[in-house]
Amino acid sequence: MFDLHTHFLPPRVMAKVRAQFDAAGPLIGRPWPLQYRDDEAALVEVLRGLGVRHFTALAYAHRPGMAEFLNEWTADFAERVPEALCCGTFFPEPDVAAYVAARLTAGVRVWKVHVQVGGFDVRDPLLDEAWGLLAEAGTPVVIHAGSGPVATKFTGPRPVAELLARHPRLPLVIAHAGAPEYAEFLDLAERYEHVGLDTTMAFTDFFAEMGAPYPDALLPRLRDLGLAGKVYLGSDFPNIPYPYATQLDALERLDLGEDWLQAVLWGNAAALLGGQDVAG
């Protein structure tokens, strides 16, 4: 398997994230009992044991001056862990274009932006040059822009639609399939060649109980999108309130066919990232 949406963070940052989940903080909105609480080395071994051959370390900046600290850590993580792709994050701040350009040169393969936690507008003029660099480079950005689990001022499909109108070749992977605005983000993935969806927590009973069940009427379009190479496995590991296999069971229950499942679990992400190191 190739999991495009996993989180590995500096220990102090991970501790703060876990504290937010434990407290059901304002951006979480409901009890969220974390299933996996081990240290970094043990978490890596869990993924290896499950057969996850490639994964990410999606850190996300939520204030100015934080992104490069996280980028340094995730670059080191990728050097230490062969299965981990080198990841980066960014935030609207005066030097964002400069460090995005430098990190692209240094080999960042996947970017992460969390609109809900970061509390910023993807249309912020400070980000415009950085978005242009990413569109030109073709390096995917996993973006949490849907309004789940708790809507904030800048979540929802409209800001992303306006961003894509400005940068139509921007390679975005919509986290959580855009929950709960599934239809609107599916529209964007169908309209723009380089926009796709990840499966993170979507289709699970946990999301359905939160009031965000995936509409059955969208499943034929989701099947077509996956077979077109634009749906990717995501899990949110280790910040999940159930065993890792729950996401896989939920995908299998969709009954969209073996070809679709194989594409989502492996082939689509391998094709997106390219290169011999993820093709075998």
Separation of alpha carbons 40 and 274, rounded Å: 27
Q: Which residues contact 277 (CB under 8 A, 6 or more apart)?
A: none
| Residue 279 confidence (pLDDT) above 50 | no
Pairing of strands 110-114, 141-144: parallel
For the chain, strand residue ranges (E) read: 2-3, 54-55, 87-89, 110-114, 141-144, 172-174, 195-198, 231-232
| Residue 36 confidence (pLDDT) above 80 | yes
| Residue 52 confidence (pLDDT) above 50 | yes
What is the predicted pLDDT for the residue at 274? 78
What is the predicted pLDDT for the residue at 278? 53
- DSSP letter for each residue of 84-121: BPPEEE--SSTTHHHHHHHHHHHT--EEEEEHHHHT--
Banded model confidence at residue 29, pLDDT cuts 50, 70, 90: confident
Separation of alpha carbons 152 and 178, rounded Å: 14
**Could you state, in order of their start, the residue ranges of all structural domains in the chain?**
2-272
| Residue 252 confidence (pLDDT) above 50 | yes
Digit-coded pLDDT (tens) for 225-234:
999 999 999 9
DSSP H or E segment with residue 77: helix 67-80
What is the predicted pLDDT for the residue at 150? 92
Domain 2-272: top CATH class: alpha beta
